[in-house]
Structure 1
Amino acid sequence: MTSTAVVTDLDGTIVRADGTISEATIAACHALRAQGIPVIAATARSPAGVRALTELTPHLTLAVCCGGSLGYAFEPASVLWRDTLQSDAVQALLSLVRAELPEAGVAIYDGESWRMNEAYVAIRTSQHNGPSAVVSVDAFAGVAACAMTLCHPTLGPADLVALLTRRGIPLSLSLAGPEIVEIAPAGITKASGVVRALREVDVPADRAVAFGDMPIDIPMFTAVGRSVAMADAPEEVLAAATTVTETVEEDGFAHALTRLGLV
Structure 2
Amino acid sequence: MAFDAVVTDLDGTVVRADGTVSAATLQAAHALSAAGVPLLAATARTPTGVAALTTLAPHLAFAVCCSGAVGWVPGAPEPAWCELLPRAEVADLVAFLTRELPTVALAAYDSRRWRMTATYQAMRPNTHKGPITVVEAAALPEAEACTLVLGHPDRTPEQLVAALIEGGFDPTRLGLHRAGRRFVEVTAAPIDKASGVLRALRVVGADPARTIAFGDMPIDTTMFAVVGRSVAMAGAPPEVLAAATDHTASVEDDGFARALTALL
Matching residue of 1:176: 179
1:124 maps onto 2:153 in alignment? no
TM-aligned CA deviation for residue 259 of structure 1: 0.9
Q: Is the 8 A contact 2:95 2:138 kept in 1?
A: no
CA distance in 2, matches of 1:179, 1:95: 21
Which consecutive segments of 4 or more residues in structure 1 shift more than 3 A?
75-78
SS at match of 2:73: strand
Matching residue of 2:214: 211
TM-aligned CA deviation for residue 87 of structure 1: 1.7
Which runs of structure 2 are paired with 1:33-44 in the superposition (5 Å)? 33-44=33-44
1:230 maps onto 2:233 in alignment? yes
Q: Is the 8 A contact 2:3 2:212 kept in 1?
A: no
Normalising by the residue count of structure 2, what TM-score does the alignment of the two structures yield?
Answer: 0.96
Please list the CA deviations of residues 61-86 of structure 1 after superposition, one character each: whole Å capped at 9, or x if unmatched. Answer: 00000000100002544411110111
1:185 maps onto 2:188 in alignment? yes
Change (3 A) 1:39 1:218: same
Matching residue of 2:144: 144
Tell which deviates more after alignment, 121-130 or 249-258. Answer: 121-130
Matching residue of 1:157: 157
Q: Is the 8 A contact 1:121 1:127 kept in 2?
A: no
SS at match of 1:79: coil
Q: Is the 8 A contact 2:84 2:146 kept in 1?
A: yes
Q: Percent identity?
A: 52
Q: Is the 8 A contact 1:13 1:253 kept in 2?
A: yes
Amino acid at match of 2:236: A
Please list the CA deviations of residues 70-108 of structure 1 after superposition, one character each: whole Å capped at 9, or x if unmatched. Answer: 000025444111101112211111111121111010000
Amino acid at match of 1:231: A
TM-aligned CA deviation for residue 128 of structure 1: 0.6
CA distance in 2, matches of 1:143, 1:77: 20
Matching residue of 1:254: 257
Matching residue of 1:16: 16
Q: Is the 8 A contact 2:13 2:215 kept in 1?
A: yes
SS at match of 1:164: helix
Q: Is the 8 A contact 2:42 2:193 kept in 1?
A: yes
CA distance in 2, matches of 1:77, 1:202: 22
Unaligned runs of 5+ in 1: none
Q: Is the 8 A contact 1:124 1:179 kept in 2?
A: no
CA distance in 1, matches of 2:114, 2:78: 19
Amino acid at match of 2:123: I
1:57 maps onto 2:57 in alignment? yes
Amino acid at match of 1:70: V
